[in-house]
Structure 1
Amino acid sequence: MWVAAPLATLIGGSLAAVTAVAASRASRWLDDQAGLRRQLPDHLAVQDRSSRLPRVRDIRNPVLLGVHPVETPSADPQGVATDDLTLYMPRDVDDELHSAVRRESLIVVVGESTAGKSRAAFEAVRLEAPDHLLAVPSGRESLATVTNRLSETRRSVLWLDDLERFLGPNGLTASMVNSLTKRTGYNNVIMATMRTSEWERFTSRAEPIGEDQGRAAWRASRDVLRAAHIITLRRLWSPTELASAATFAERDPRIARALRQAGKFGVAETLAAGPELLRDWHNAWAPGSHPRGAALVAAAVDCRRAGVDGLVPRDLLLELHNHYLLAAGGHALRPEPVEEAWAWALRPVHGASSLLIPAGQSEENHGYLPFDYLIDQPHHRPIPPETWNMLIARADPSYTRRVASEAYWRVRTAFHAAVDSGATDDVFSRAHAMADHGDYPRAIELLTESLQAADDHDGSLHQHRAERHQIAFYQLLSGRLDEAEAAFKELLEEGARTLPPNDEYLQVVRHNLASCTKRRGDLPGALAQFRRILADREQQLGPDAMNTLATRGAIAHIIAEMGDPGEALRQTREILAAEERALGPDHTNTLATRHSLAQYLARSGNPSGGIKVLEALLPDLIRALGADHPDVLDTRSDLARYHRQNGDRSQAALRFQEVLADLRRIHGAKDRRVVLARQDLEDLLAQPE
C-alpha cells in the first residue's frame, strides 16, 4: 500500500503514540503484578520454601489446610501413617466431590465438626487437580490480595477451610468468585468447607438484625452460597463407609479403635480425638486439675459462639477467663498458674488436636481458635453477660457487628449497649433498639426519614425494601393494620417478581400478612395461611429452623384463641423442646415460648402450673432482656394474674402494686401502660374477699 509522505508521517506518529500508551499500560500492569507477588507471602497461610504458591501435589501434610490431625502411632512399621493422618478411607460423597472439582467453580462441603469435610475435600483436589497452584489465605483481610493474584493464573485452587471466616464485610462475594473462575481458558476452582451450624445461619432465617453494611455483607455471603455446589457429609458413617474402613483396620489399630465406637461417634470424629478432648475439658474443672485451662477454653468457645469468627487474642482470653473461673468456684478450685494453663490447653492429645489451636502469621495477628468440635456440642450453658459486654466494649470492627446481631437474640442488654455506645450505629439497629422498648412511633419515624433520604440519593433496592418492610412490621405491632397490610402486599408482589420462589424473605412477608389477618380477628383465615407457610418452611428450611418454629408457635397461639388451649399446650411443649435443642435455652424465642407455655397452662385451668413456669422464667428473662424490659413487666403482670386466678388475692395485689410502681418510674403516671396496670389493680381490689 502506498501513501503520501505527509500522511505516512501522521500515521507513523499515531502508531508511535498508541504504542507508547500500550507500553505504559503494560508496564503498570507488570508493576502491579510484581507488587502483588511481593505482598503475597504476607497473606498466605501455606507457601513453599521460596515463599510462593505451592502446587496441590506439594502438600504432604493436609493438617496445614485444616484437616484434623489424628493420634500419632507409637510405631509404624508398615508405613501406614501419612504424617499426622491415617490412610484415606473412601466416603460416599467421593464421586460427587471428584466430579465437582472437574466441573464446578465453587464447591462447599457442609457437615458437623470432625465429619471429615476437609480430608474428603483435599483428597478430591489432590487426585483431580494435582498440578494446580494452591492458595490458602491467612484470613478474610487477605482474600482480595490472594484472589487478585490467582485471577492471573490459569490453574489454581483457592482453599477456604471454615468458609464462614472468609464471609462477611470485605469477604468473598459472587463477583469475586466469577472473576476468578469464569474466565475462558482458565481452570480455577474454589474448594471450601463449612460447619452445618454456620451454613444454617444463611439458610434458616431472613436477614439478621444489624446495620446496613452488615446486612449487605450477609446478603453477599448468602448469594455466594446460593451459587455454590453444596455437598453434605454426615458425621456418622454409613454402612458402606464402615465396611470400607474395616479393610484398613487390620493395618492401623487407630482405625480399629474408631470402628469399635462407630455406633456413637463418627470414625473421623474419634480419630481426631474429639470425644477424648471433650472429656478432658469437662474433667479439667475438678479442683486441683486444670480449671484455669478449662476457663481459657470456655472463653474461646464462647467467643466463637458469640460471633467472633476470627482469631481470639491472648489478652482477651486472659481477661475473659477470670469470669468463667470465678463462676465455677474461683480459688476453691485451686487453679493452676497461668502458663501451666496455657500449656495444658495447647497440648495435643496423642499427637492429635488440642483444645486451643494457635494461629496467625505474625505477632500482630497472633491468636487462638477453639477446637471446633467443642463449639458444635449440644447443651452449652448460656454465654455469660460479661462475655457479651466485653466483646461489645472492645468495639473490634472485625466482629462487633456480628456479635451485636447475635446478642439481640441472647442478651438484649448487650445489643442495646452496642447501639448506645455507637459500636453499631446504623438505622436498623437504632430502630430495633427503640422498638424493643415499645417505642414504635419513633422507630417508624427514624426508618421513614432514612427511606426518604435514600430516595433522594437513589439508595440500593435491598436497603429500600428492608426499610419499607421494617416500617410495615412496626406498624403491625402498633396496631396500624391497614398501612401494614398494604405495605406487606406490595412488598410481596415486588419480591415475587425479583426473587427466587423459595426465597425465605417471601415467607417472612407472608408470615407478617398472616399476622395481620389474625389481628383483624379472622382466626380461621390466619390459621390456613400459617399452615401453608409452615409446610413450605419445613421443606425449605427444615423442621428445627428458627423461622419454622416461629410459625409453629403462631399456629399454637391461634388454636388457643379458637378455644383449645389444651392442644395449644401440647404443641407448645413440642416447640419448646425443639427450640431448646436447636436454638438453645437462652435464645429469646425460647424464652418467649416458655411464657406462652405458662399462658396455656393458665387457660387450661392450671394457674399454679403457669405460676411455676413464670417464676422459673423470670430470672432468665431479666438476664436476657434487663429488668425494665416490656416483656419482663408483662411476665410479672401475668404472674400477678395467675396468682389471682389461683385464689391468692394478697399475693396478686402485691405483685400488681410492684409492677405499677415500676411502670410509673419508667414511663410516668399518664402513660397508657400505667393506666392499664392501675385498672388491673383496681379490678382486683374491687373483688370481694
Structure 2
Amino acid sequence: MLQATGVTTAWVLALGVVLAGLAAAFTSMAQRSLESRSSSRVAVQDGCLIVPGGKGLPRVSEVDDPTLLGVRHAWRAPGTTSLPPYVPRDVHGELVSLLHAGMFVLLVGDHLSGARRTAYEAMRAAVPDHTLIAPHPAVDKLRVILDRAKKNSRAVLWLDQLDQYLVPGGLTLSDVRHIVSASRQRAIIATIRPDLLSQVEAAGSAYSSEFGPLVHDARQVWLTRRFSTHELERAQSRTGDPRIKEALQFTADYGLAEYIGASLTLYTHWRSALEAGPHARGALLVRAAVDCRRLGLTRVLGRELLQDLHTAYLADQPRLQHEPLAAAWEWSTQRRVGTLSLLLPRGEGGGAPVDVFPHLVTATQQHEEQRESPPRWVRDDVFAQVLACTTGDEAQTLAWSAHTYGRRPLARRAYQHAVDASIRHHGLADERTLLAQTDFARWLHLTGDFAPAEDIARTVVQARRRQWGAEHPTTLAARHLLAVIMFETGQQDTALAECEAVLVLQSRLLGDDHPDTLHTRFTRDALRGEQEPPHVAVARLHSDLQARINHPELGEHHPATLTTRFTLAVTLWQTGQSRQALDECRTVLQGRRHTLGTHHPHTLDTLNTMATWLGQSGDATQAAAAFTELLALQEHLNDPRLHDTRASLAHWLAQITGPGTA
C-alpha cells in the first residue's frame, strides 16, 4: 500500500533512522543539562555555608548562630549563651535600610571592631526571608556561586573579608551590578579592614585599576573599634550578661567587641602554654603579672619585678622546658589577636614596663573559684615580694585583698607596711601617715583586735590635736573612732561621754545634717543601747533615716544611710515588729550588695541577720536558703565564722526535714 502512494520502504527506513537520531540527541542534551544543573547545585552547596542539618542554601533567619559566619566565640559564663547579646551600633539603622533597599554595602572596620556581628544582625533585621549565599573564598567555585546569586530572585550575598574575593577570576564590578541593580530583592553585604581598603583604592596599586571601581560602587559604612557614648549607654542596659559587664570596665583601653572577641583566644593560648610546651617561662611571666593584679597592684609592671616573681613558679615545674628569658619576653609580648598580646608593652624599647590583658586576671580568678573552695590565692612568697616594693597606698590595697581571702596575718603585715612606708617617706605628722594609721586602726577594730586599735587611734587623735586643734573636723572624726574602739574595750561611760562631746561640736561647727554629724549621732544612739525607750528609738531612727535619704551628699544607697536603716531594722525586731524588720533588712541587704559588694563583711553580716530572723519568725525553708547562700560566700572567703553558719544551716534543715537529714 505504501508503494501505491509512492513511498518506498527505503525512504521510511531512512526517516526512522533520522528521527531516532534526533530523539537520541535531544535525550543526550537533556541529560547533559540535568547533569550541569546538578553539578552547579553541588558546587554551590559545597562552596557556601550550609547550616548543620540543612540540605540547601539557608534563609537568613535560619542562621541563628553568628559564629557560622565567622563571628568570634566568647568565653562561657554561668547562665549565658555562647555569645553575649548584641549591642546595636550607631550604624545599625543605616545598614538595615541599605540592605532592605537592595544595595551593595561595604562595612569597613578594624580587626575586632565587631564588623561581622554588626553585619550579621543588620542582615537578620533587614532581609530575614532572603536566601543567604555565603561563599567560601575558593575561586574555582566562585563563578558558579555568583551565577546562582544572579538568578536567585530574593538573595543576599555575604562576602566577609572582601579582599579575599578581589583576585583574578573572582568578583567583578559587572557581577556586583548584575546582582543588585536588576532588582531590589537582592543585596550584598561585605566587610573589609581599613588598611586593605586603602590598598585597593591606592592609585597605581595592583588592585586599583581592576577593583578600585568595584569598592567605589559600594555604599561604604565605617565602624569604629571604640564604642561611642550612645553605644556604651546601650551596652550598660545589657550588663545582665557578665561578659558585657566585664568589658565595660576596660573601655578606656579597649573596644567592647575587641575585648570580648580577643579574651577567649588569649586566655586559651596562655593556659595551654602553662600546662606544656616550649614557652613555660613566658607563660610564667604572664602568671606573675596576673597575680600582681589579683593582689590589687594596678600600676604598670616593671620587667625586673616580673622576672623576680616568676622564679617562684619555675621551681614548681621542673620538668617543663624553660626557654631563655629573651625568648620568653618575645613570646609573652607577641601580638596574637589584632594588636593585642598577653603582656602589652607600655612604652618604647625592649625594656618597657608591661600591662596584662585584663581578662586573664578575671578568668584566672573564676578558674580558681571553680577548682577549689575556698579558691587558691596568690602564694605567700609572691605576696611578700610584691609588698616589699609597694607604696603606702598600694600596700593598703594589698592589705584589703588579703583580708578578703581570710589571710589576716598577711593583711596585718600589709597595713603595717603602709604605715611604715608613709612614715619613712613623709614623716610622722604628715596627713598621709595619719590616714594610713586610721585605716589600720579601723581594720584592727573590724577584726576584734581592740587593744592595738585603741593605741593607734589614740596616737592619731594626739597628732591631730597638735596639728589642727581639738575642734577641727579631722580631729573630731579621729575622736569619734577612738570612742567607738574604747566602748569595745569596756570603757562604755568614757566612750559615750566622748561621743556626746564630739556630737555637740560637730552640730555647732558642721551643722546637724552634715554626714559626720549624722554618723556620730548614729554611733551615740547605738552606744546608749537600752537607755532609750523602744518606741522613742523607732521614731527617732525613722526621722534620722529620712534625713539621710534626703541629704544631697548621702542619699538612699550611701553606706551611712544603710547603717541607719539597719539599726532601725534591729530596733523594730527588738520591739516585736518582725515583718517590718525583715522588710528593712532586705532593703539593707540589697543596698549593701549594690554599694559594698556581695563579699563585703557588712553585706555578709546583713545576710546572716536576715537568715536568723527568717528562721525565728517561723520560715525555716527561707532561713535555710539564706544560710546556704551565706555559707557559699564565707567558704569563698575562708571566713572563720563559717563553722557557725554550718551549724545554723544544719539546725534549720533539721526543722524542715527532721533531725536525720542534718
Which structure ranks higher in relative contact order (CA pairs < 8 Å, sequence separation ≥ 6)? 1
Higher Rg: 2
